[in-house]
Structure formats: structure tokens, C-alpha cells
Structure 1
């Protein structure tokens, strides 16, 4: 069946064949869609049609679908397909995907979902769930190929062929000793270019880049990105190989963390997407907005404190939104740079000082240029040289402070092991609003006699 229509036409066709019970036609439609497009069709269906949609998908198609929906939706899907198919689906998932799905679920819920699985599978899941969240142990998969140091290249290749359907990927083979400690790694290329009778210990690379099972996932992402590996071996305290983390799985984690950081940067807190209900979205945004509301009241108290200055020189009010807005904007820009840098770079005391000094120079440069421009505009507009000087110098000072605030606050939070993304854009903006008004009215009050 050729599908040349747009998404809406496909959706209508899919609803029609489900109404008519045309499973064969449904399967032909699904076969022409990518896994992502299948997930889009599922999310766009009326709720009463979703159960049949899931019932008609194969286990492999369900596995693919789970990769494109939220964790909450994954759990709902498991409940909709019934206990028998849910067990088949859980057993078909990779261990890291399963760990992601079960994360944040109560122990009783986890036990209920895995209750009918084979004892060996349940034992593996329970072991993985004991690792702290967002660590290499939670992310790693156990489907990898290892060989003993006594193997030849020929024997190693034979083992790879034997486990080709078992292993999730076969770009590398890991070499262990009698104590199962990781002592080397060899790539497919290494094996192909070697003589079959060569010993694997002579072919392997012993300078191994690896991570500990408790290493944080953001650190794993940095290491994989730095070395461009397809995968990363995971070891325990005894250097025993316990699993691997693949680059494609790590990419999913990076995207997930990036989305979380963006949500926190803009103070939306938890995940909100196109399918989130209005009341749920409002509830998730509300706490931050209430906090910022009360912080914003401080700005009002500052203005009331300098009421006499405003009454004496009304023109000062014209530039208040500009001063506060520019300061908040430059602080948010610095915050974005720092949060991104903390994900991709190793930050120590020296690099932090270098970053702060760099942003200080940026703030000074921006402040001088923008301050000079606004001074000329204020002078031409109001015909008051001192007013132009006050507005311009205030903007210089506030842009410098705003840039430093957007840089230093996330660095301090990172130092105390707090996610720097919680220093959200709105929070930085609100804090900078307060500082900018204090500076602006402080300078204006100092020059009040010359302004009048």
C-alpha cells in the first residue's frame, strides 16, 4: 500500500482500518512508517483507539515505539498491552532501556512489572536498579563480547561470530585475565589486519579508556565525546568488566539531559511538551513563578525607596526597563555559556578563574559599547548631558555585574554538586533586575543635584 499523503491522511487511514478491523492493511501502513512516525501516529490517536493500535503492533515494533515516548507513557503502554505481552516486551528491551523505564517507579511497581519474568532476568534487573540514578551502572548493557587473554585472533573471531545475535554491538572485543579483570581491547579492524594465529594479547591495546560503574553519566558523555568511541567499558572497584555503554545510548542521555537543562533554564521545572495537559503544564510552572513573583516584589520596594529621585527627575523612569532588561539578558547569555561548558568541559579552579576573567572582559566590552550608545541617545532625546552620563555609566556597571552573576552563580552551584541549570534564566534575570535598579538609582541619587 503506497502512502503518499501527509500525516493527517495517514492518521485518518489508520483510524479507518482499525474501525473496519483490517489488520492486514494496518500492518502494511505501519511497515511503511519509520519508528518515529509510528510514535507520532500513536500519540495523535484518540485514546479509545490506542489499545487496538498497540495490540496490532509486533513486539519489535513496540520496542521501537517505547524509544520515542516519555517514561510515563512507556508505563501506560505496558499496562495497556496486558501482562503477557508486557513480559515479552520487557524481555525484549535492552538492559539500559529497561533501567530507564523503571527509574523513579516505586519498588512495588517495579516488582509488579517484572513479577512474571524469568528469575535470571529479574535478578539482572534488580542488580541494575541498585546502582544510583544517572550513573554508568544504570546506563550500561551486559550484552558484550569478551575473550580470554589466551585466545588467538582466530578463536576470538569465532566467538564474535557465535555471539553475533546476542551482542548489541560488535565494534570492539574486550580482553580479560583469569580474575576477569579488563586488561585490553581490540577493534574489528585490529582483528582483520592480524594473522589468525596471532595471540589476542599481542594484538590488543592495553591503554584502555574506561569508566567506573559509579561514574556520573555526564562524565561518561564527556569521555565518549572526547575520544569518539563507539562504546565505553565499565568496571568495578576490582577492575572487573561489568558492562559497556554505547555511544548511541549516551547520545540519548545527552539529549535527555539537555532537555532537562533547557526546562530548568526557563524555570518550567518538569517535562512539558505538546501533549501535556493545560492544568498539568500550569501546575509544573507555577512554583517557580510564585517564587519569582515574591522576588520581583523587591524590585518594587527599591523603586518606592527612590521615589523622591524619580519625582525630581521623571526622565529616569524612561530608562528603567532598558537597564533592567539589558542586565537580565546578558546574565542569561553568560548562564547559557557556562551550563553548556560544564557539560562538555572539565572545570577546575584555574579554568573557572579563566572563564570568569573572560566573561568580565566581555561584560566590560559590552558595557562600554552599549553604555556609550545609550548615553548619546539619552542626551539627544532629553537634552541633558548629566542624564546621559548617569544612564550610560549605570548600563556599563550593570552589564558587567549581570555578566559576572550569570557566570559565577552556576559555577558555585556546580562546586556544591547542585545542577547549575537550576540557576534558571528567570531567576538570574530577576536577581539582575534588583541589582540593576539599585545601581541605577544609586548613581542617579548621587547626581540628583546636577540632574535637576
Structure 2
């Protein structure tokens, strides 16, 4: 039996236990599944059976399941399990996951959800919600182990043992002074190999990397990726340790950022997946398409303006889709290169200029190669050297401009603190369509006497 058949069998078994009220059998099946697999099977269950599915899960299983659902699915789950269990569930969630769940919700809805939480958790989440979206303050967790600089190595190890549940989240122990300012860090390895009677200050590293509460999450991800850290401490303006961001949290950030960039690159809307209802997917995609529709009408007006040129040389119409399509494609390719570069590197002015000139050179080389090829094809196909020259020169010019536009637009947006991914593929393509038609018909009009 292959994996697909095995999953189908388990899915049918789960549905059967729900229909027949076989709670013990259901619990046995769930016990052997990972949290991710539980989320997959939860989605396969008909909506009318999901309330019972959730009711039969224990609280730890619910916490694990919640982590692999979209925000909308999480909110629906909390509604299904009722206020008592939902409060217990929120208390058990990691504070960074809870902050992500509550992001973008109206303040009154946030207060309603956290109203019955424990005072400590409620205070923590209210503090996080004051930080900017996608900041380190939103992503940090408060479960970390710190020791005073006066501790010995042995006393630090004893504290780690006492807070063993917190220690699951990191491989470092952070050292603070009397004012709770971060002064050093030590790894578990340092503790194990160090002299147990020595002050921890003798083995701690003082030249450490740290981030502010307002640091962008993408910058934190870049730091951890560059230096291979397992966690990074978060401090406030007074250098007081307030939290940490772990590598697994950064992985979530990177995946979430990548998904958002892909969604914006293709203007598909946020949180649209296999399980999104058609009406919701339509609603999220429609604004972009309506905008692009009206921008696209400009292309039609350009063609109408050059109607006389097109009527005089009908063969020009044969190459319109190719010119527009090639220009849009090269612009989208440059856009993808720039967006990826902005995520993985810190672009200075010098690097930006180098990138622009490199992409410009790429556009010139692409244009020359593709222009020569299409010139030969146009000449052989239509038997007109001038037509081949017009099409070839137009393609060279439009590919250069398309590549330049795909590079410069996201850089400008980034300069003005706008996510460059909003310069989506469809938007770049539409703009380049307009530019390519203007260039193509402009050049054709210049040579109209020789084309006829």
C-alpha cells in the first residue's frame, strides 16, 4: 500500500469513528499522528463533523493542530471549541504565535479573545500588540532562561534544570546585570565544559549580536541566517533583555514572507490556498484584476492611435503579442531577482547602482540576441527586410526598457519603505505592455513609407 492509499484509509477511518461515535478508537488514531498530519485530516473532515473532531482532541493536540492552520481557520476553530476551551488554548499558545493570530483583528475582537486569559499572558500579548507589525517585538517569545552575572556555572546549570521547559526553546543562556541589561551569553556547551565553581562571567561571550524590539523581522531572519545562530536576544532602548527570537520562529517568518511575496508577485491575494472558498478567492483577487483591466485599456487606446499605421501594414499585427509578451516576461524576471536580493542582502546605494547596470547590460544582451533572431524570422516569413528591422529593433528597445523597469520599480518602492513585492508580476507586465506598444508602433510609424 502506497502513502496516498494509506492516508485515504486513515481519513476514512477517522470519518467512520466520528459518524459512529467511536471516541476511544478516534483517540488511538490521533495519538499516532503528528500535529501536521492531524491538521491535514482535520481539513478532510466534512465541516459538520469538525466540532466533534475538535472536542475529542486533548489540549496539547489542539495546540499542535492550531499551529498548522491559516489565520482564518484558527479563528473558526476557536469559535467551534467554545469560550472555555479557547481561553485555555490561548493560554498554552506561544506568545509569538498568538500575536500573529491577533494581528489585523480589531482591538475589541482582540480584547474579547484574551479577556479570560491568565493575567501574565494577557499582559504579555497586550505589550506585543503595541509593537509594529512584522517587528521583532511581535515575533519574540518571553520563555527564555536568564541568569545574573554573579552566578557560578553550577548555579546557572541548576537554574536551567529548574526551568527545563523554557530551555527547550534555545541553546543559549543569557546573562544580565543588576539593571537587567544584557551583558553576555553562554551556550549549553560552555556550561558543560566550564569549571562548575567559576563565575559565569568567565565563560560568557560579551561581543554578542542583539536586536531592538522595533527591528524588522526580515532583518532578524537575515542575521540568524548569516551567522547560523539558534536564537537572538531582543532588547529595548535601555538594553534590557525583553525576549528572544529562535531559529524555528525565523523559519516561520521566512516562509510567511516568501508566501506573501509570491502572492503579491502574482496578485493572487493573501491566504488563498486549496481550501479557500471560491467566493472568498474571487473577492481577494478581483481588486487587482479590475485595476489591471483599466490599466490594460491604455494598450487599446495606443493601438487605436496607431490605427492608420496598422491598416497600412497589417503584418505589424502578427508581432504585437510577441513584443508585448517578451517585454512583460523579462520585466517579471528582473523583478524576481530584485525582490529576492532585497530579502537576502542589505542593499546599499552602491549595490543598487551595480544591480541596475548589471540588469541593464543583461537587457541589452537579451535584446540583441532575441532581436536578431526575430528579425531573421520576420524577413523569411514576410519577405520584408525593413519589417524585420523594425520588429528586431523594437524588441531590442522593449527588452532593455522592460528589464530596466522590472529592476528600478521595486528598488524605488523599497527606498520609500514600501514592500517591493507589491510591484507584482501582472502590474509590471501591464506597464511593459503599454511601453512596448508605444515603442513598436512609434518605430513602425517612422518607417511607414518603407514598409508599404
Question: When the two structures are superposed, what TM-score results if normalisation uses the length of structure 1?
Answer: 0.97
Q: Distance in 1 between matches of 2:216 and 2:43?
A: 32
1:200-251: CA deviations, max 9, x gaps? 1111111111100011111111111111111110000000000000110111
State the aligned residue count. Answer: 450
Q: Distance in 1 between matches of 2:262 and 2:5?
A: 34
Runs of 4+ residues over 3 Å off in structure 1: none
Is residue 369 of structure 1 aligned with residue 388 of structure 2? Answer: no
Conserved 8 A contact 1:164-1:170: no
Q: Distance in 1 between matches of 2:124 and 2:291?
A: 43
259-268 or 405-414, which moves further after superposition?
Answer: 259-268
Instruction: Show the counterpart of 1:231.
Output: 231
Q: Distance in 1 between matches of 2:246 and 2:115?
A: 28
Conserved 8 A contact 1:136-1:217: yes
1:143-199: CA deviations, max 9, x gaps? 101111111211111111111123442400111111111111111122222211222
- Deviation, 1:12, is 1.5
1:63-82: CA deviations, max 9, x gaps? 11111111111111111111
User: Which secondary structure state, in structure 2, belongs to the residue aligned with residue 175 of structure 1?
Assistant: strand
Matches within 5 A, 1:211-230: 211-230=211-230
Matches within 5 A, 1:26-65: 26-65=26-65
User: Which secondary structure state, in structure 1, belongs to the residue aligned with residue 165 of structure 2?
Assistant: coil
Q: Distance in 1 between matches of 2:56 and 2:147?
A: 41
Where do 5+ consecutive residues of structure 1 fail to align? Answer: none
- Deviation, 1:23, is 1.1
Matches within 5 A, 1:121-200: 121-200=121-200
User: Which secondary structure state, in structure 2, belongs to the residue aligned with residue 418 of structure 1?
Assistant: coil
1:63-104: CA deviations, max 9, x gaps? 111111111111111111112211211111111111111112
Q: Distance in 2 between matches of 1:423 and 1:118?
A: 43
- Deviation, 1:4, is 9.4
Conserved 8 A contact 2:333-2:406: yes
Q: Distance in 1 between matches of 2:84 and 2:279?
A: 34
User: Which secondary structure state, in structure 1, belongs to the residue aligned with residue 242 of structure 2?
Assistant: strand
1:393-419: CA deviations, max 9, x gaps? 111110000000000000000110111
Instruction: Show the counterpart of 1:392.
Output: 392
Instruction: Show the counterpart of 2:405.
Output: 405
Q: Distance in 2 between matches of 1:236 and 1:170?
A: 20
User: Which secondary structure state, in structure 1, belongs to the residue aligned with residue 279 of structure 2?
Assistant: helix
Instruction: Show the counterpart of 1:326.
Output: 326
1:332-376: CA deviations, max 9, x gaps? 000011111111110121111011011001101111111111111
Q: Distance in 2 between matches of 1:191 and 1:16?
A: 52
Conserved 8 A contact 1:261-1:421: yes
Conserved 8 A contact 2:70-2:271: no
Conserved 8 A contact 1:143-1:168: no
User: Which secondary structure state, in structure 1, belongs to the residue aligned with residue 85 of structure 2?
Assistant: helix
| Aligned Cα root-mean-square deviation (Å) | 1.3
User: Which secondary structure state, in structure 2, belongs to the residue aligned with residue 166 of structure 1?
Assistant: helix
Instruction: Show the counterpart of 1:21.
Output: 21
Q: Distance in 2 between matches of 1:192 and 1:361?
A: 55
Q: Distance in 1 between matches of 2:418 and 2:318?
A: 39
- Deviation, 1:264, is 0.8
- Deviation, 1:7, is 2.5
User: Which secondary structure state, in structure 1, belongs to the residue aligned with residue 215 of structure 2?
Assistant: coil
User: Which secondary structure state, in structure 2, belongs to the residue aligned with residue 320 of structure 1?
Assistant: helix
395-404 or 91-100, which moves further after superposition?
Answer: 91-100
Q: Distance in 2 between matches of 1:39 and 1:194?
A: 44
305-314 or 243-252, which moves further after superposition?
Answer: 305-314
Q: Distance in 2 between matches of 1:377 and 1:94?
A: 62
Q: Distance in 2 between matches of 1:26 and 1:4?
A: 20
Instruction: Show the counterpart of 1:105.
Output: 105
Is residue 315 of structure 1 aligned with residue 315 of structure 2? Answer: yes
- Deviation, 1:390, is 0.8
